[in-house]
Every structure is written in structure tokens, then in C-alpha cells.
Amino acid sequence: MQCRNCGTEIADKAIICYRCGTATTDPVRKAVPIAPKRSPLLSFVLIAVLVLLALYLGQASRFAANTDYYKLAAGLCAGGAAAVLILGVLRRR
């Protein structure tokens, strides 16, 4: 048998060519395509926006008449930022 890549004479039962390393038969299985990694930029932007909003609402609660609403909104924004951060870390594992 001859190698289909380099033309070297090889044994009939050979799996690969000893000279160039080319396989003598086609692969039985195809390789699984690797999905490209997503950019973490969206997560960072979302966390930054939520933290800045929480800081703004926390400062606004100092000067507002109804401070409970602003404190609740600031806490929710900070909690949302923490949740996005935790989910991003867990997803990478």
C-alpha cells in the first residue's frame, strides 16, 4: 500500500504512515466543535451600572422625604449586582 499523502510504500495493515504520520483510513468519528467563549464585558457593564445605581439611590435616600423607598431600591440594585457577579463566577467553573 502507498501513503496517500507522501507516496511512501507502507505495510497493508499500517494505521499511519511512518514517514509523514498521515492516517491510512478516514476517521470514524468527527471532532466535537468547540463553542467560542462569550465575552464577560456584558457582565462587567451590568455590575458597574447596578453598583452605580445603588450608590446613587443610597445618596438620594439621605435627602428624600421617603427614605425607605430609596433604601429598598439601593439594596435591590446592590443585591442584583452581587447576584450577577456570583452567577458569572459559577458559570465559569
Q: Name the band, by pLDDT with cuts 50, 70 and 90, for residue 93.
A: low
Q: What pLDDT is attached to residue 4?
A: 87
Is 13 within the bounds of a domain?
Answer: yes
Coil, strand or helix: which one is 24?
coil
Q: What pLDDT is attached to residue 73?
A: 92
Tell me: do 49 and 84 sit in the same domain. Answer: yes
- For the stretch 35-90, pLDDT in tens is 877 778 888 899 999 999 999 998 998 888 888 988 999 999 999 999 999 988 88
How many structural domains does the chain have? 2
Tell me: do 60 and 85 sit in the same domain. Answer: yes
Q: Which of 14, 76, 78 is nearest to 3 (CA)?
A: 14
Tell me: do 24 and 48 sit in the same domain. Answer: no
pTM for the structure as a whole: 0.56
DSSP label at residue 37: P
Tell me: do 58 and 86 sit in the same domain. Answer: yes
* Domain range enclosing 49: 41-92
